[in-house]
């Protein structure tokens, strides 16, 4: 008898009690959940998101952040973040703003081990009991955000006119501390680089779009989240960042220079598309630069691996054996070992050291 997709997901994600609708509680689309175990008929034998794809950033992000959260959000909300693996749930975000998203014991997750200088939360005060983790997060989503006291979507997420765009900045994950009014927007990379533009604005890179969206979300007077704070946490391999093997490493090493160049680009190339008057633009851009500079944090994947090994050793006990036992029921043995080696290779590229 072949293992079910849910059996495989439980093994991959290290959670034996994962229910079939787990994705609704973490903001993941069912299609993305299915892609984690879906067989592929291309030469490699796996899809981009598949857990047996050694380059799958989706698999690494879900495993590392979800395991850190200890999957404690399952069945934790009256209104789940997504509905039936599809649309975002307006009621959930209303609950969030009203302070009705519930609390969970600090000890039920490992987030409180990510504090201190250079860590994910650095020295921020954090309400770990009410901290919420969501994946695949699009800031311009209408369920998440509409204008204050209005029914139209809030899309003033850039210095540019983007009202005609359906999407502008999608984050791999976000942690929301509603009690402290702070967003922790997460961009997670394994081997890939950032995108360098959009169809309408091909010269504006992913980091700038993300910082812009977070800035306007928390400072625009029409935003429901006006007055909130944000952090932009970039998670990557420390080796790739240290030796500047991707474009993002150069940009993040000098945020002021990146934003100064972005200002010049806006003024010289996109001046007709600016949505602010010149004087207002200069004032707000100065605020943006200061806020973005203070928001950027670089966190290595190793930090997640270290906490998982030290604080949750049971996660690793028999981890690969469980996957092997399930896969051997479905595919030839040589493919089983290849799948195990590919998963190990993903951890190795990320710099996550695991026992055994």
Confidence of residue 2 (pLDDT cuts 50, 70, 90): low
In a domain, 342, yes or no: no
Would residue 338 count as lying in a domain? no
End-to-end CA distance of the chain: 29
Minimum mean pLDDT among 57-71, 254-268, 326-340: which range? 326-340
Question: Cα–Cα distance between 51 and 163 in angstroms, integer?
Answer: 36
Domain for residue 119, yes or no?
A: yes
Helix ranges (DSSP H) in 83-138: 90-98
pLDDT of 334: 82
* Model pTM above 0.85: yes
* Residue 182 located in a structural domain: yes
pLDDT digits (tens, 9 = 90+) for 229-274: 999 999 999 999 999 999 999 999 999 999 999 999 999 999 999 9
Q: Containing domain of residue 46, as a range?
A: 5-306
Q: Is residue 174 part of a domain?
A: yes
Which pair of structure tokens corresponds to residue 207? Answer: 């980091």
Q: Are 2 and 10 in contact (CB under 8 A)?
A: no
For the record, the structure tokens of 307 come out as 């906490």
* Tens-digit pLDDT profile for residues 181-217: 999 999 999 999 999 999 899 999 999 999 999 999 9
Q: Strands 87-88 and 82-83: what pairing?
A: antiparallel
Number of domains in the chain: 1
Answer yes or no: is 340 within a domain: no
Q: For residues 82 and 88, is the Cβ–Cβ distance under 8 A?
A: yes
Q: What is the reported pLDDT for 102?
A: 83
Q: Compute the distance between CA of residue 260 and CA of residue 36 in angstroms, rounded to an integer.
A: 40
Instruction: Determine contact, residues 192/186, Cβ cutoff 8 Å.
Output: no
**Domain assignment of residue 13, yes or no:** yes
If DSSP codes are grouped into helix, strand and coil, which group holds residue 107?
helix
CA Rg value for the chain = 21
Q: How many CB atoms lie within 10 A of CB 103?
A: 12
pLDDT given for residue 1 in this prediction:
45
Residue at 317 is within a domain: no
């Amino acid at each position: 008898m072949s293992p079910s997709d849910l059996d495989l997901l439980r093994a991959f994600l290290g959670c034996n009690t994962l229910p079939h609708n787990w994705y609704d509680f973490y903001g993941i689309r069912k299609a993305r959940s299915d892609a984690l175990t879906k067989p592929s008929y291309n030469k490699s034998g796996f899809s981009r998101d598949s857990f047996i794809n050694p380059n799958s950033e989706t698999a690494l992000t879900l495993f590392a952040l979800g395991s850190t959260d200890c999957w404690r959000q399952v069945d934790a909300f009256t209104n789940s973040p997504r509905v039936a693996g599809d649309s975002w749930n307006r009621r959930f975000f209303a609950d969030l703003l009203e302070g009705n998203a519930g609390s969970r014991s600090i000890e039920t997750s490992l987030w409180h081990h990510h504090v201190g200088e250079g860590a994910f939360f650095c020295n921020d005060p954090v309400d770990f009991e009410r901290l919420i983790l969501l994946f695949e997060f699009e800031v311009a989503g209408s369920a998440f955000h509409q204008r204050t006291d209005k029914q139209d979507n809030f899309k003033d997420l850039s210095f540019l006119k983007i009202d005609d765009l359906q999407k502008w900045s999608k984050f791999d994950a976000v942690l929301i501390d509603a009690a402290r009014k702070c967003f922790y927007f997460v961009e997670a990379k394994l081997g890939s680089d950032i995108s360098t533009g959009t169809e309408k604005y091909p010269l504006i890179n992913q980091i700038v779009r993300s910082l812009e969206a977070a800035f306007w979300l928390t400072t625009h007077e029409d935003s429901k989240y006006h007055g909130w704070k944000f952090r932009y946490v970039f998670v990557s391999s420390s080796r790739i960042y240290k030796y500047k093997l991707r474009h993002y490493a150069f940009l993040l090493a000098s945020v002021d220079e990146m934003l100064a160049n972005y200002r010049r680009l806006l003024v010289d190339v996109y001046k007709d598309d600016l949505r602010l008057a010149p004087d207002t633009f200069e004032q707000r851009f100065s605020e943006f630069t200061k806020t973005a500079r203070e928001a950027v944090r670089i966190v290595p994947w190793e930090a997640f691996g270290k906490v998982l090994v030290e604080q949750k050793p049971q996660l690793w006990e028999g981890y690969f054996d469980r996957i092997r036992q399930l896969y051997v029921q479905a595919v030839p043995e040589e493919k089983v070992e290849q799948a195990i080696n590919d998963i190990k290779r993903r951890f190795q590229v990320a710099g996550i050291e695991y026992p055994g």
